[in-house]
Structure 1
Amino acid sequence: MKLWLFGIYGIVGTTAIAGNKAIEKGISEKTGLVSELPDFEGLANFSPLSFDEIGGHDIRNIESNLYEELFKHWEENQHFDYRILKQLKEDLEKIKAKKGTALNCGEGVLEELKPIESLENENLSLEEIVDKLEKDLLEFKDEETVAINVASTEPTIEYDENIHGNIENFEKAIKENKKEKFTASMLYAYVCLKNKIPYANFTPSIGSNIQALKQLAEENNVPHAGNDGKTGETLVKTTLAPMFAYRNLKVLGWMGYNILGDLDGKVLAHKENKESKIVSKDKVIGKILGYYPYTITEINFFPSLKDNKTAFDFIHYEGFLGTKMKFYFTWDAIDAIVAAPLVIDIARFLNFAKKKGQKGVIKELAFFFKSPMETDIYNTHTQYQMLVEWFNKLKNEG
């Protein structure tokens, strides 16, 4: 099994790979991996925990290697034991990124690129960008390759039914070089699904979440999933909100205030990049409760936190006899540490899905996403049960 990451040099991608290598070498435990829970016994028979080869696209420092990029993240965050990093040096130095694209990724991303002159791919036509991405993938892929987008959040783009609604017009627009209608994540998803590589979108960006690419996935019998990995505050929200529903308590308002640093924080400090993230985080409460209380969702850049994301949540609710009460919680976590194992989990489950003949959106992977496709189930408890039942049903077939 091979793994390809879009945004491979970011802190989530580098940490996921380091963690996978550390487990493979027996120098780290499997804590944090959903796919290693007893409920998924037998998964290793279809999707082993270790990857035969790892590669990816990135838009910065292509002359570098994965060890050098992870070391930069480690110097900023010191997010795991340095002794582990030292033991992985030789393995990680062998992994090098190919040049990706930053097409319509917004000022938040471009601001980081300008000083290092990484925009040469954006001067190519859409066909040329696609051909280059496809060439890199085809040189790497085998029958058990999975690709995951862990790149920075893109701005939203206006949906165009004529172009985004079917694959024929989508491909025609590529040939006509209608750049304003495409984003990097859409192109990444397209080259994967076109070449029958299972794809997951771990970001709030569009990715494969348009009808044209869903059609392509169905036609090519390839599974895909997304969007936006559920790793922190939203994980708590979707686990806690059902409690209010189960107890018939009325949520009057829910405020979530998030602060973070690092590149993710810099990108999300730009309004256009932030918008899709806020939508992804905000809508889950109403989906679970069945009604929409007053909500505030804020994300702000706080440089000194680096990758240590912190969220403060305030819930105002009404109980018996109309009495109003309050609930507060604080979430404090290293984002890469809570996100990285899910990248490995998703890759394993998508490879399993492909081996079991699954195609199109795998809605049963909703457990891993803030904005899961093709389902209105946002309750974490229900999502987990869906995942377990789906896995066991397929495992026992054929």
Structure 2
Amino acid sequence: MKIWLIGAYGIVSTTAMAGQKAIEKELIDKTGLVSELPQFEGIDKYAPLKIDFGGHEIRPKSNAYEALLEHWEANKHFDKEILEAVREDLEKIVARKGTAINCGEGVRALGKLETLEDENKTLGEIVDQLSKDMKSFADDETVVINTASTEPMIKYEEKYHGSLDGFEKMIEEDKKEYASASMLYAYAALKNRLPYGNFTPSVGTNIPALKELAIENKVPHAGNDGKTGETLVKTTLAPMFAYRNLEVVGWMSYNILGDLDGLVLSFKENKESKVVSKDKVLEKIFGYSPYSITQIEYFPSLVDNKTAFDFVHFKGFMGKLMKFYFIWDAIDAIVAAPLVIDIARFLIFAKKKGMYGVIKELGFFFKSPMDTDEVNTHKQFEILVNWFQRNR
């Protein structure tokens, strides 16, 4: 099995690589991998835990070890002995130069780039290169996962996003203002018939044109935006209020984070799509919209330690207002990295079972799952288990 990672030198991608190689060397156990729960017994037959990695990246690094060492020195998020034990494996993983077209000032700051090479290329040239890179790496058991930084929201344009013909016309006519990097990566993956998982809030395959291509080429795909921290707690806890018929009148979420992800999200245009992704879940669970505040702020000294402070104001029997508070405090890469592997394994399972198009049953892994309004974590897990056991 192989995984091609968009944003290959980011902390989530490189932590996933290191963790996977450590599993293969039997240095660590499989804690954190959903696909290793007893409910998914038998998945090894379809997607064994022996994985090769490649990917695209815009930042200049020599290899995945060099990239992860930089992240580790800032975060020390696992034992150094593990990193050194998998060093040779990571040094062999060298990413190809990717695209960051229309990714906003946050990504420019991330890459410390004044200009991006792809700005002088046509969309056709960009897509051809991305496609060739993926094709040179891929086999029949390869999945593409987008873990890149959050893009600004691209205005939907029916003429170009509403159909595959229109999307390919956009590329042919070089209408860059309507394209985003995540769309182009997704298009290249689907053209190569590679399953695609979107671990980011960026649009990826979530436009009619690319959903059409996935159906035409019989490719499974899923997204969007990995559900790893505060939103995971929110969508697990919020149903409790609904089950007890308690009215939530207000929910405040204040998120602080550092590292490169936080740096990108400190730019307003990059932050917007992330806030939207986090903010929609309450209405879907309650059927009404309580007053809500969702804030994400850059706090450099936290590096990858994401912290969220949530305040819930709810009404009980006889109209009494009461309060609930919680704090989420976790290393984002540690909670996110195993899910990258999980999503890839389930997408390979779906492919081998002849499934294609949006795999809604993988909604458990996402804040904004495509083609479904179900965001209740409990129900999502039940759906995932039933889907796997029915089809294995």
Q: TM-score, normalised by structure 2?
A: 0.99
Q: Is the 1:59–1:118 contact (alpha carbons within 8 Å) kept by the matching residues of 2? A: no
Once superposed, what is the RMSD of the aligned Cα atoms? 0.8
Q: Is the 1:232–1:335 contact (alpha carbons within 8 Å) kept by the matching residues of 2? A: yes
Distance in 1 of aligned mates of 2:239 and 2:192? 40
Q: Secondary structure at the match of 2:86?
A: helix
What does residue range 150-229 of structure 1 map to in structure 2 within 5 Å? 150-229=147-226
Residues 309-353 of structure 1 show CA distances to partners (whole Å, capped at 9, x for unaligned) of: 000000000000111000000000000000000000000000000
Which residue number corresponds to residue 66 of structure 1?
Answer: 64
Distance in 1 of aligned mates of 2:317 and 2:72? 50
Which residue number corresponds to residue 48 of structure 1?
Answer: 48
Which residue number corresponds to residue 287 of structure 2?
Answer: 290
306, 310, 326: which one aligns with 2:307:
310
Which residue number corresponds to residue 334 of structure 1?
Answer: 331
Partner AA of 2:104 in structure 1: G
1:46/1:118 CA distance change after superposition, 3 Å:
farther
Deviation at 1:118, TM superposition (A): 7.0
Residues 91-123 of structure 1 show CA distances to partners (whole Å, capped at 9, x for unaligned) of: 1100000000000000000123345x6721221
Q: Is the 1:113–1:119 contact (alpha carbons within 8 Å) kept by the matching residues of 2? A: no
Moved more, 363-372 or 133-142: 133-142
Residues 233-266 of structure 1 show CA distances to partners (whole Å, capped at 9, x for unaligned) of: 0000000000000000000000000000000000
Partner AA of 1:252 in structure 2: V
Which residue number corresponds to residue 271 of structure 1?
Answer: 268
Partner AA of 2:90 in structure 1: L
Q: Which consecutive aligned stretches of 4+ in structure 1 deviate over 3 angstroms post-superposition?
A: none
Matched, 1:26 2:26: yes
Distance in 2 of aligned mates of 1:373 and 1:49? 27
Distance in 2 of aligned mates of 1:113 and 1:299? 21
What does residue range 84-123 of structure 1 map to in structure 2 within 5 Å? 84-115=82-113, 119-123=116-120
Distance in 2 of aligned mates of 1:348 and 1:364? 13
Distance in 2 of aligned mates of 1:311 and 1:124? 40
Deviation at 1:292, TM superposition (A): 0.6
Q: Is the 1:55–1:96 contact (alpha carbons within 8 Å) kept by the matching residues of 2? A: yes
Partner AA of 1:42 in structure 2: G
Which residue number corresponds to residue 233 of structure 1?
Answer: 230
Partner AA of 1:56 in structure 2: G
Partner AA of 2:225 in structure 1: D
Distance in 1 of aligned mates of 2:115 and 2:226? 27
Point out where structure 2 has 5 or more consecutive residues left out of the alignment: none
Distance in 2 of aligned mates of 1:358 and 1:372? 17
Q: Secondary structure at the match of 1:376?
A: coil
Q: Secondary structure at the match of 1:143?
A: coil
Distance in 2 of aligned mates of 1:127 and 1:135? 12
Residues 269-290 of structure 1 show CA distances to partners (whole Å, capped at 9, x for unaligned) of: 0010000000000110110011
Partner AA of 1:72 in structure 2: E
Distance in 1 of aligned mates of 2:115 and 2:176? 18
Q: Secondary structure at the match of 1:378?
A: coil
Point out where structure 1 has 5 or more consecutive residues left out of the alignment: none
Distance in 2 of aligned mates of 1:314 and 1:134? 46
1:49/1:118 CA distance change after superposition, 3 Å:
farther
| Aligned length in residues | 392
Matched, 1:370 2:384: no
Distance in 1 of aligned mates of 2:76 and 2:19? 14
Distance in 2 of aligned mates of 1:21 and 1:122? 36
Partner AA of 1:4 in structure 2: W
Deviation at 1:46, TM superposition (A): 0.5
Distance in 1 of aligned mates of 2:208 and 2:235? 27
Distance in 2 of aligned mates of 1:253 and 1:10? 35
Q: TM-score, normalised by structure 1?
A: 0.98
Partner AA of 1:311 in structure 2: A
Q: Secondary structure at the match of 1:375?
A: coil
